[in-house]
Chain A
Amino acid sequence: MKVTVLVRPKGGILDPQGEAVGSALAHLGFDVKDARVGKVIDLELESADAAAAKAEVERMCERLLANPLIESYEVEVHG
């Protein structure tokens, strides 16, 4: 089972990396109002059960992959 975790800086938290990327894009002439930079974590699990895999990865997010004070996360199960 392949699972992707998206970790984002929480809204309201200053993301200087996103600001730098946004302003670089603006310098290239792209019309960008805002940019935020997060992380992608691709996992491969033994489990064949999508619901169980999702629950397991959510536990991983709570314990290690995201810091709930500053980050939000989203889990996508690809089957």
Chain B
Amino acid sequence: MPKLQRPRIGVVTYPGSQDDRDALWALTALGAHAVPVWHEEQELPGLDAVVLPGGFSYGDYLRCGAIARFSPATAAVCDFAAAGGLVLGTCNGFQILCEAGLLPGALVRNESLRFVCRDVWLRVERNDLPFTSRCAAGQNLLIPIKHGDGRYLAPPDLDPSQVVLRYLHNPNGSVDGIAGVCNEAGNVMGLMPHPEHAVDPLLGSDHGGLLIASLVDAARSRALAAA
């Protein structure tokens, strides 16, 4: 694919990030020019979108994502999002986006108190977002989860239209089975499941590729519009 058509999508690596390499790999496989971004970087290097990956940033001390929220790269991501930039957070990335106030709600200890690691089915509630355009509304996706703190608590005033994904069988006690939400403007999304681990049928499912390829599509059209 010619370079121009490969949108530049950054993946932030914090101390303790785990899935940054999988995210870079998945983005590359699905047509992006994936760019590693170190957590100390104060400016994002000319990106069309950015992904905050899973893991245990800063050891997840205090609360998951609470310390990563104050890293220089997160500040840059907040500015990027405020300017309308596309931001996707998976797992720990979702927790960081909630702590940073880019997404509503909070993620707390699973109701079972157990770390849950398995494939789960999700229902796509909205396909009009840059993160879900390749899905059909109501489509079911098989994507793995692996988390101990994935129980989503919604703020009382959450607009139901901000719910993007729901678990078919609630694995962690999340309110209303919520697995993923977006901000009001629809340019920031977070989800506990790991789409970057589900981009090849060899690994059990390629349904996560629909979400990541949607992001690549959206980032590409933004890059072409800006060119």
Contacts and interface: CB of A to CB of B under 8 A. Distances in A.
B105 A69 contact: yes
B111 A16 contact: yes
A69 B62 contact: no
A14 B173 contact: yes
A69 B154 CA distance: 9
Interface residues of B, number: 17
Give 7 nearest A-B pairs by CB, closest first: A70-B106, A69-B106, A16-B113, A16-B111, A67-B106, A67-B63, A70-B153
A64 interface: yes
Interface in B132-176: 153, 155, 173
A38 to B, nearest CB: 12
Nearest to A63: B70
Interface string B104-147: 01101111110000000000000000000000000000000000
A69 B109 contact: no
Interface of B: 62-63, 66-67, 70, 99, 105-106, 108-113, 153, 155, 173
Contacts, number: 30
A47 interface: no
Interface of A: 9, 13-14, 16-17, 20, 64-65, 67, 69-70
A14 B105 contact: no
A63 to B, nearest CB: 8
Contacts of A20: 113
B113 A67 contact: no
A65 B62 contact: yes
26 contacts: A9-B108, A13-B108, A14-B111, A14-B173, A16-B109, A16-B111, A16-B112, A16-B173, A17-B109, A17-B113, A20-B113, A64-B62, A64-B66, A64-B67, A64-B70, A65-B62, A67-B63, A67-B66, A67-B99, A69-B105, A69-B106, A69-B153, A69-B155, A70-B106, A70-B108, A70-B153
